[in-house]
A = this chain, B = another copy of it.
Amino acid sequence: MAWNPDSNNEKAETKEMDIRNLSSSQFHVHSESNLHKVAVPPKQNLFQEFKSTMKETLFADDPLRAFKDQPSSRKFILGIQAIFPILEWGRSYTWRKFRGDIIAGLTIASLCIPQDIGYAKLANLDPQYGLYSSFVPPLIYAFMGSSRDIAIGPVAVVSLLLGTMLSDEMDPKENKAEYLRLAFTATFFAGVTQATLGVLRYYLLGFLIDFLSHAAIVGFMAGAAVTIALQQLKGLLGIKDFTKNPDIVSVMQSVWGNIDQWNWQTIVIGVCFLSFLLFAKYIGKKNRKFFWVPAIAPLISVILTTFFVFITRADKQGVAIVKHIKQGINPTSANQIYFSGEYLKKGIKIGVVAGMIALTEAAAIGRTFASMKEYQIDGNKEMMAMGAMNIVGSMTSCYVATGSFSRSAVNFMAGCETAVSNVVMSCVVFLTLEFITPLFKYTPNTILAAIIINAVIGLFDVPAAILIWKIDKFDFVACLGAFLGVVFQSVEIGLLIAVIISFAKILLQATRPRTALLGKIPSSTVYRNIQQYPEATRVPGVLIVSVDSAIYFSNAGYVRERILRWLMDEEEQVKAACQPAIQFLIIETSPVTDIDTSGIHAMEELHKSLQKKNVQLVLANPAPVVIEKLHSSKFTDIIGDHRIFLTVADAVSSCSPKWVEEEV
């Protein structure tokens, strides 16, 4: 494995170097032609370049791969299957799978019914709208979605977000009809947003979906959990005059300011059953065999407390009850959506935000369970399915539905096999709407509050936050910022903080890239960061600096000055130690992934400054785009083609061959 310095490069290094005149020390430039030359990539014409960039940006996953070289009948079938994955997996559906799905479906149905009623309240809607949203959207999803484990329906965070944003526009009690219409409008546009993202390709608007970092999501979810749990204190304590502001300060003032409204009967029921639910959850976690215990505990609680209130007529003692849920399945609501007027714009705005948050949640769930069971889900199909189900939902009196964390986990553990479990759940909800809703009349609100608190506790992911703290302090700040924003202000502010901090991190990295000094790893030809590898040795007379980022306008000035500062520091040390002066500055450009016109200007200025100091600028391993731009800007002519090397080792050997030879 000898490093053989012969090469096919004959052009470079053949003329005498003028640096010799500048240099008066022992170092001189290697003038033999034995080094690899940095290749300039073959020039593409503009159209090809544009085409390949667009393809990579928009169709990075090559969506038509399966359609290639197929007869047109086959293409048609593949196309239909692409829209309705059920046609693909449905053909291999078996009774054994159905058994799994029916058990899972019944389990998540028993969990979703009480949750739906509670979540509808978070969105300031009547309880039946929560049930409606667990009837139609899961059916649509089952035909179009590609995840096998996700459980579709209303979820806490999206309900809260929708409720907050809608009440900012109008009062949900005073303008009940308009509020409902605006909710359908927002749902419609949430669906349109999702479907559009699906059609326009995941990758075109990739950064709109990936606009939240993992850390920001963890913080946002935890904040939403706290906010939702706090709002449930209204139901749990039986307070009547509760604040409408979601922040922790207002809620705490409401709770302690209205201590006279606390209703002990309500509190006793709520706290007892909350303990029961938490205990059930604990059992389910302890032993996965008992996954069904936490799944059916909410329904059992509802049945028990409803029966209890009905028997004791505790509602006359001040225990608030659900009172009325409209019987019957979803009425049509297509004519209620605002397609013009002032509310159209508001509906679009709310819909876009809610749709994207819903998508973020669904994507995280889908990906998690897919990787557990090791199958692929298709981001585009998922978005199309979500979009379709919300568009249809908005026309059938549903509000924004998405994948629910808690129900999907139960679905998974109950052994679901395909999206048929969603169909089963949907059927149960249908039966509930048709026949059972009157029975909910005496269900106390406090039990719904307990169920919601129990459900959202899972969103408060402490281990994830600890891991984030361990891995990256800046990420933790993003996480904390999102959390505090949601808790102390509102969901929107928290979301805004999360987005801003997420992007600030990218921009900060583009403004202050790391630079490092490199040294030679003993007995190798490899040069690495001397902080990371303290055993690496410096090359006398040569300073090797790596720049850890694309050089753009945002950091060009900084990079230039930072490199000059490395040089000044080094020169001081060298002087103090009476070592030979620095004569070559090698920039390791492997991590420099791109350069723009400002960056090239900065390099030119750096070159000039170095010339004044009699230091020669040398580049090692520029990437294809970088070398291409250096060429077209003639910068390679300024520093000389023979100053650009394939590796740091080549560059060093050409700067001070004597030293290298001595070493070896």
Contact = CB atoms under 8 A, between A and B. Distances in A.
Interface of A: 1-8, 36, 39-42, 46, 49-50, 56-57, 60-62, 203, 206-207, 210-216, 367, 371, 374, 467-468, 470-473, 475, 502-503, 505-514, 516, 521-526, 528-529, 531-535, 548-550, 552-558, 561-562, 565, 590-594, 596-598, 600-601, 605, 608, 612, 621, 623-625, 627, 629, 632-633, 646-647, 653, 660-661, 664
B214 A553 contact: yes
A561 B63 CA distance: 12
A506 B553 CA distance: 10
Given A62-B565, A608-B371, A471 B629 contact: yes
A60 B568 CA distance: 13
Contacts of A214: 553, 596-598, 601
21 contacts: A1-B661, A3-B525, A36-B521, A39-B532, A60-B512, A60-B565, A62-B565, A206-B558, A207-B507, A210-B554, A215-B553, A215-B598, A470-B632, A471-B597, A506-B510, A513-B593, A514-B623, A524-B646, A528-B621, A529-B624, A591-B623
A532 B597 contact: no
Interface centre among A41, A207, A653 (most CB of B within 10 A): A207
Nearest to A601: B214
Nearest to A555: B210
B596 A475 contact: yes
A210 B470 contact: no
B471 A633 contact: yes
Contacts of A596: 213-215, 471-472, 475, 505
B215 A597 contact: yes
A49 B473 contact: yes
A514 B593 contact: yes
Nearest to A46: B473
A85 to B, nearest CB: 19
Given A2-B3, A8-B535, A553-B210, A36 B472 contact: no
A522 B549 CA distance: 28
- The copy count of this chain in the complex is 2
B593 A590 contact: no
Contact of A590 (B42, B473, B590, B597): B590
A646 B511 CA distance: 28
B531 A41 contact: yes
Given A36-B526, A593-B549, A653-B1, A507 B503 contact: yes
A382 B655 CA distance: 38
B510 A548 contact: no
Contact of A552 (B468, B505, B513, B523): B505
A200 to B, nearest CB: 15
Given A60-B558, A213-B554, A374-B612, 19 more contacts: A2-B664, A3-B524, A4-B524, A41-B531, A60-B561, A60-B565, A207-B508, A213-B552, A213-B553, A374-B608, A471-B596, A472-B629, A475-B597, A502-B553, A505-B596, A509-B593, A524-B646, A528-B621, A591-B623
B57 A512 contact: yes
A573 to B, nearest CB: 14
Contacts of A505: 552, 596
Interface centre among A374, A596, A624, A664 (most CB of B within 10 A): A596
Contacts of A529: 41, 623-624
Nearest to A592: B591
B2 A558 contact: no
For the complex of A and B, 8 pairs with smallest distance between CB atoms: A213-B553, A214-B598, A548-B593, A532-B624, A4-B523, A591-B591, A207-B511, A214-B597
A506 B210 contact: no
A131 to B, nearest CB: 34
Contacts of A207: 507-508, 511, 554
Contacts of A5: 1
A262 B162 CA distance: 60
A211 B555 CA distance: 10
A207 to B, nearest CB: 4
A466 to B, nearest CB: 11
B56 A512 contact: yes
A474 B475 CA distance: 30
Contact of A210 (B39, B210, B509, B511): B511
Contacts of A621: 528
A561 B201 CA distance: 14
Contact of A557 (B40, B206, B523): B206
